[in-house]
A and B are shown apart, each in its own frame.
Chain A
């Protein structure tokens, strides 16, 4: 049963309107701003949970608004959207708490939280988009809303990073727009359909479809940081910690990866993509990105920069998983969308705590911090081990399914890539853990550092969530179960 429902729009509006109102608040009106932020974040979670509950009972949520003569603006809650929206809603709430603590007393907070909410609104739009036009609109909105956050500090480095970011993302946007319009002129529709809507076109158009696919992937690959389009991401780490956390875990990077999933599943259809021969190059590209990102991460001394290259590598697991074109690999890729978000946001929160509390930005300065900030470093350790793929943390589940998927698709070399990547992950995360827990600090600590509770709880919660997602993976309502559900829809329905 599909009925017109305002709920998806409402989910979008919770963050959009709160963002717009926050812009108008005076700088020192902390109480109203905080209340509004939390109210919006909580009501978003409430709305999403309400919808998930009803979706289990067979309800569908969709809203059509006429936009252009033949294309509607569509928001819908299909299973894939539910996954991404829930992730963004939960992490938005956590990051809001963190950001309130992190930015206490710093200038331009109304501007910051305004754009922060806009970013989340755009991400929800990306998640719930029911056709490629809606997706494009929200995707570009995200491009614009993230810019002020990246340059928030206003330093020369931040402004340079902002320029780089714009050059990459606006260029990518143009590529995506071209692909979208071109596709529309061929098919006359852009509505996401399970198993795709382009396969009925005549074979004579297949070369064009391949070019369009490349254009779309180029546009999305910029945000998903596929090599060689990843250049902006390591630079963007100059942004404040909550921004990096959100950017790497949910908003910008994930929107790109999510878009790739959408294009493969609901525009081209995974079977048709495989027939068209576009998945194999995508697997190659993802594999190269995974190795390259890890290799670059090895040599970074700046903690956030190392984490950024790690994102480059880890986000491509998602692309890899879905591009393997088999159900098991797809489960691995999709579940990694959530798992990587939980783990990476933890790591960035912890990096922010180190910088805020002890002024530590480099790994070489981290000697013995484990004893000075045990809770932060515990969270960091959990997430880092998860990234490496140590059971029973979430990352292990993703890698397990990816490996099985590679076997199922007969691409044994992908297993090799996963192994190398795991070794490299270990090689760039374990030294951090070692130095933090076992090295003696260079100087004796003067006083016991104090991290505010607003900064401490968010990484602990997300670290525990990523542990739980791995431990209880087989229970209902977990990311893994939901990924299976999505994959069933894509692969098993006639």
Chain B
């Protein structure tokens, strides 16, 4: 049995940390680091509990159950997402601890970062644990607002403009989502997911709610063609912030969409799965092509996120109307890819941050003689690249294998080709960067003015990249964790 408090602590702890960091600005970085370590320990014990006694857990806050009180829900899927959030979060926290103490970053910025980031973290963990629609809305807003503020933290003109655009998009998305919930509440008089799933039927108002909620979440998770806000925001934010945005924030809304789909909308869908699949496919191709064309490293990585997000959405058509085994395989593939992408993409952004700090710019064409002077950072970028390309052994490969298997078994050749093409294009843009590391031995005259990078920042990037590779070496237990509590067979439990 799991102590319910553990799950709640994952939310309360970062929230407290955020407040403390805001109040005691001078020591914000220590508070942040302490919180990150504590959260990691708690997650570790939570996961141990879940694996030793697998199941689908609900617990109520303050003893008030649904429909009145707030209910939290923990199963394999939420644990999986918490893992993505906590491991990436810990890595980024360690990185930021050094990053925000390097001039020109000042103490004020550091305090702002830590309180906002811990706030964001609380929102993420709460979202992964929530089980009612309104609660989910609140966490979505928490995430959106703190993410916008974090983007603006970089302070440059570009960053401010893209933050404002991000804010408007994010608010529009939330608004759509809220409207959808209002419709559902009006029709079924509850916002609890379990209760709703028992009552939901295919009426016009439900269809409208489905459309609104989906549109809002798609906007927030930047699925093509609604991705316009993402590259400038992710490309102009500070390195640790970009890592968080790309690795976690966009995935939170994807997770929510998947969860609602699995638990609510599955029986009443119409054209939706194919539509999402087509947009996903377009995202893979379009995002990759644009990534290939970028001349700045951070924008390249941001467009790569647009492309990789597309992969996750392929699961909707591929898992639709399938036998249990096929359905679970496709979902496992999508979420495994998501986890690997979280680690790989954060590693890439952190590596890009190192390169930018080291050389003062991130123009790819001028990386000759720079890239090879940062071997650890380059190793991090390359290993993360392997996972993004989906080459074995890496988490990206495992996920891609499962998705490809589903596509080919159903003879959906279009999707299979898109999945493979995406890998080829990714190889193109990853090697576009790595190629610059292999230059002739440099002469003295080539050495340009550079800044030293703290070892911690290099090692954190490498560690995250290594995790994304290791995910591909022994995936079986994690794939099993994902199915604890049967999140993908919601409608036919036991089968």
Contacts and interface: CB of A to CB of B under 8 A. Distances in A.
A48 B155 CA distance: 61
B420 A137 contact: no
A1 interface: no
B408 A185 contact: yes
Nearest to B436: A159
**Size band of the A side of the interface?**
35 or more
Given A182-B408, A185-B405, A185-B408, 10 more contacts: A23-B379, A107-B441, A137-B392, A140-B391, A140-B392, A141-B392, A154-B438, A159-B439, A181-B404, A185-B409
- Looking at chain A's contact residues, the main secondary structure is helix
A162 B438 contact: yes
Contact of B393 (A137, A162, A184): A137
Interface of A: 23, 65-69, 107-108, 111, 136-137, 140-141, 143-144, 148, 151-155, 158-159, 162-163, 166, 170-171, 173-174, 177-178, 181-182, 184-185
A136 B379 CA distance: 23
B435 interface: yes
Given A65-B474, A68-B476, A174-B424, A159 B431 contact: no
Interface of B: 329, 375, 379, 386, 389, 391-393, 397-398, 401-402, 404-405, 408-409, 416, 420, 423-424, 427, 431, 435, 438-441, 474-476, 479
B284 to A, nearest CB: 14
B391 A173 contact: yes
A191 B383 CA distance: 29
A126 to B, nearest CB: 12
Contact of B427 (A108, A152, A170): A170
A184 B438 contact: no
B439 A67 contact: no
B440 A155 contact: yes
A196 to B, nearest CB: 21
A66 B404 contact: no
A171 B424 CA distance: 7
B280 to A, nearest CB: 19
B476 A184 contact: no
- Looking at chain B's contact residues, the main secondary structure is helix
A177 B404 contact: yes
A66 B405 contact: no
B394 to A, nearest CB: 10
Contacts of A159: 435, 438-439
B479 A69 contact: yes
Nearest to B434: A147
21 contacts: A65-B474, A68-B398, A68-B401, A69-B329, A69-B479, A107-B441, A136-B392, A137-B392, A140-B392, A141-B392, A143-B391, A152-B438, A163-B431, A171-B424, A173-B391, A177-B401, A178-B404, A178-B408, A181-B405, A182-B408, A185-B408
Given A137-B392, A140-B391, A154 B409 contact: no
B366 to A, nearest CB: 16
Contact of A67 (B420, B441, B476): B476
A184 B427 contact: no
A153 B401 contact: no
B386 A144 contact: yes
A154 B398 contact: no
A185 B416 CA distance: 13
A18 B236 CA distance: 40
Nearest to A174: B420
A173 B401 CA distance: 13
Contacts of A158: 438
B399 to A, nearest CB: 11
Contacts of A185: 405, 408-409
Nearest to A173: B391
A144 B479 CA distance: 26
A174 B401 CA distance: 11
Contacts of A166: 427, 431
User: What 9 pairs across the A-B complex have the smallest Cβ distances?
Assistant: A137-B392, A185-B409, A151-B438, A107-B441, A154-B440, A66-B476, A154-B439, A170-B427, A181-B404
Nearest to B403: A181
Nearest to B438: A151
A163 B430 CA distance: 12
Contacts of A151: 435, 438
B475 A181 contact: no
A90 B379 CA distance: 30
A184 B375 CA distance: 39
Contacts of B438: 148, 151-152, 154, 158-159, 162
Given A107-B441, A136-B392, A177 B405 contact: no
